[in-house]
Chains A and B, each alone.
Chain A
Amino acid sequence: MSQPINPLRKYIREGKLPHFFCPGCGCGQILNAFLQACDELSVDPSRMVIIGGVGCTARIPVYLKGDVLHGVHGRTLAWATGIKLHKPQTKVVIFAGDGDVASIGGNHLIHAARRNLDVLVVVANNFNYAMTGGQVAPMTPSQVRTMTTPFGNPEPSFDICELVVTAGATYVAREATGRPVQLERTLKKALTHEGFALVEVLSQCPTNYGRYALRSGDPAVTLKWIMDRCITKAQADKLSKEEKAGKFVLGEFVDFKRPIFCGSSVYDLESCECCE
């Protein structure tokens, strides 16, 4: 009896499965939604440059056919800047965790958004540093217990969508692994966007966030904890700032066009006098 083969399997690198994600991790769902989106758009991920930094999410690219850069913490957008400037026609997609892109890579993030670099950044927000064992991250909610905040997180958390909107990103949306249909639809839109696109995906980490913050390793508990706090943008628009506290707003925040960054190639020979 032959087993049915997942039609998305054709995008997965030979001999790389099973993957190394924990049972119940959201990274697999994000990979699935991304490939589904590519498949429906008929864009071939094996023609892309797919970048991961360091962390669980950063391992998503290594399962994909296509050119992959991996293994340095927080520098995904710096790599992408060099690639896009030298070879602007290359499609570049970044998979990054919240620690990778919002903490150690925070400076690159805001400047890539400001420049409107033509890349898609998929941020898996699992609210902690998962690969290193569940330490507090910039997107860990306040008061939550982690391995390095045993008395509760004393810091407020980042809203990465708000951050990049302010910095100048041209497509920004937030979704959750608990809404696979909407997630795939959002990724489809982001994949076709020209300019800096960022999709934050709220993703469950039962192994570290679940066990320490929520005292349960059951993936359903973390998933439910996330989904209970999710509201749509339409719902959020009707609420006051106080009422929105502690909620995750899902939906599209910006979607517009402005010139994309190509480096300084436009110049006027006659007017340039700086190095006389």
Chain B
Amino acid sequence: MATSTTERAQRVLTGTHFMLGNYAVVEGALAAGCDFFAGYPITPANEISERMSQRLPAVGGKFLQGEDELCSIYALSGASLAGAKAMTATASAGYNYMQEGIGYAVAVEAPIVIVDVQRCRGENFASQADVMQMKWGPSGDHELIVLAPSSVQELFDFTIRAFNLAEEFRNPVIIMSETTIALMRERLVIPPAEEIEIVNRRYTSLPPDKYLPFKANEEYGVPDFAPLGEGYGAIYSLNPHSEEGSIDWNPDVFEQLYKRITGKVTQHRDKICKTQAFKMDDADVALIAYGSEVRPCMDAMEMARADGIKVGVLKLDTVWPVPEEQIIQVANHVKLAITVEMNIGKYTREVERLCCAKCRTAVATKNRGLVHFPEEVYAVIKEVWR
């Protein structure tokens, strides 16, 4: 923990810690170069704002407690377009309010990071009920990158990755946290600053009269950036816009714009979609899980293997865009794929469409504010695997 004055003024708290999940997010953000944070009070995300309000000014950043979530999310776009690495943190109900601002950030390609600590209908119970909303919340065509950490260490690591992906693809990135891991204390190892990979957006080298804010860099497929207030004369409108940013009602312009905006994410799945496979080599049954539900799956895998059922776990570090290749690969090798999730059964539809005709599918759901117990997951395995 950062207790001494000198430590508080450091961006990267290198060392071994026993830290709260929400604090690990803050440390990850600071290590990634976050210099703007706006948030509105909501449990169970408050520790993120609280620690940010202390840590961020100490390293030269700006902290804002907005009057509501809409203020926070739009302040993020404003700051980001002015050149900041910006983040907000909220919980399910607050994420509802932020949808229009996320849609705007997609349209104007503002790199922003949003932490959503999922909770249960106003109560702070464990839940993964918002896994579809994470992606499909905003209106209009869009792609969002959603990362699902399962531990305090991953909350730190994935937050850094979220900033890097946001900067690289100029797209909002969401860290799908949960009450469970956000309010859990665990071992956290923060590496030395020089070992942390940092990605920054590419700034344009063109003069203002040649700069087109929405013309993709041919090499990267993402427009180069010019900050607000430097005389580049960019228009950042939600409305259909041309490469120069002007509102344009030409259907071809609109089609091309969103083909590119969504394409820059879907065409880089290999870089964005990460999974971890455990004991999949000889597995007959795959448990497919994300977030805190991975933890009981790991125990259930061992229980099943002790009884002679060859179970493996596919952990989805990226839930959106769907890691299709990795799931298909699993489907090709197992006889049964069980999606384990803490809701009424949502992400299983994505898994089912990919496994279809390749292996059997089933789902283990739990929607009562509690994480699965390993025994419950194992009971589903035994029931379905005959």
Contacts and interface: CB of A to CB of B under 8 A. Distances in A.
A155 to B, nearest CB: 23
Contacts of A46: 231, 233
Contacts of B17: none
A67 B236 CA distance: 8
B238 A72 contact: yes
A276 B3 CA distance: 7
B227 interface: yes
Interface stretch (B78-86, B165-173, B272-280, B378-386): B78-86
Nearest to A108: B71
A48 B229 CA distance: 6
B36 to A, nearest CB: 5
B193 interface: no
Given A86-B84, A87-B83, A79 B74 contact: yes
A70 interface: yes
A90 B227 CA distance: 11
A124 interface: no
Contacts of B309: none
A91 B228 CA distance: 10
Interface in A219-275: 262-267, 269-270, 272, 274-275
Interface in A52-96: 62, 65-72, 75, 77-83, 85-87, 89-91
Contacts of A48: 229
Given A69-B78, A107-B68, A270-B5, A83 B58 contact: no
B67 A107 contact: yes
Contacts of B64: 81-82, 85, 263-264
A83 B239 contact: no
Given A46-B233, A85-B62, A79 B77 contact: yes
Given A85-B64, A86-B36, A16 B246 contact: yes
B299 to A, nearest CB: 33
A49 interface: yes
Contacts of A81: 38, 64, 66, 71, 74-75, 78
A18 B53 CA distance: 48
A67 B75 contact: no
A185 interface: no
Contact of A75 (B47, B74, B239): B74
Given A66-B233, A274-B54, A79 B5 contact: no
A78 B74 contact: yes
Could you tell me the dominant secondary structure of chain B's interface residues? mixed
B236 A68 contact: yes
A54 B81 CA distance: 19
A63 B73 CA distance: 26
Nearest to B112: A82
A260 to B, nearest CB: 14
B35 A86 contact: yes
Interface in A1-23: 13, 16
Contacts of B38: 81-82
Nearest to A270: B5
B75 A85 contact: yes
B36 A71 contact: no
A47 interface: yes
- Give the interface centre of B47, B78, B83 by most chain A CB atoms within 10 Å: B78
B81 A267 contact: no
B235 A62 contact: yes
A50 to B, nearest CB: 10
A276 B19 CA distance: 11
Contacts of A80: 78
Contacts of A69: 77-78, 81, 108, 236-237
Nearest to A266: B57
B167 to A, nearest CB: 15
A68 B54 CA distance: 33
A87 B227 contact: yes
A33 to B, nearest CB: 22
Contacts of A67: 228-230, 232-236
B36 A265 contact: no
A134 to B, nearest CB: 21
Interface in B229-254: 229-239, 245-247
A71 B53 contact: no
Contact of B83 (A86, A107, A265, A270): A86
Given A87-B227, A263-B63, A274-B50, 20 more contacts: A47-B231, A49-B228, A75-B70, A75-B100, A77-B71, A78-B70, A82-B36, A83-B79, A85-B75, A86-B84, A86-B86, A90-B229, A262-B62, A263-B62, A266-B57, A267-B58, A269-B8, A269-B58, A274-B53, A275-B2
22 contacts: A49-B82, A49-B229, A65-B233, A67-B233, A68-B237, A69-B77, A69-B108, A69-B237, A70-B236, A75-B70, A78-B73, A82-B36, A83-B229, A86-B62, A107-B67, A107-B70, A107-B71, A269-B5, A274-B50, A275-B51, A275-B54, A275-B55
Interface of A: 13, 16, 46-49, 62, 65-72, 75, 77-83, 85-87, 89-91, 107-108, 111, 262-267, 269-270, 272, 274-276
User: Which 8 residue pairs are nearest across A and B when measured between Cβ atoms?
Assistant: A82-B78, A71-B238, A82-B75, A78-B74, A82-B79, A90-B229, A79-B78, A111-B67
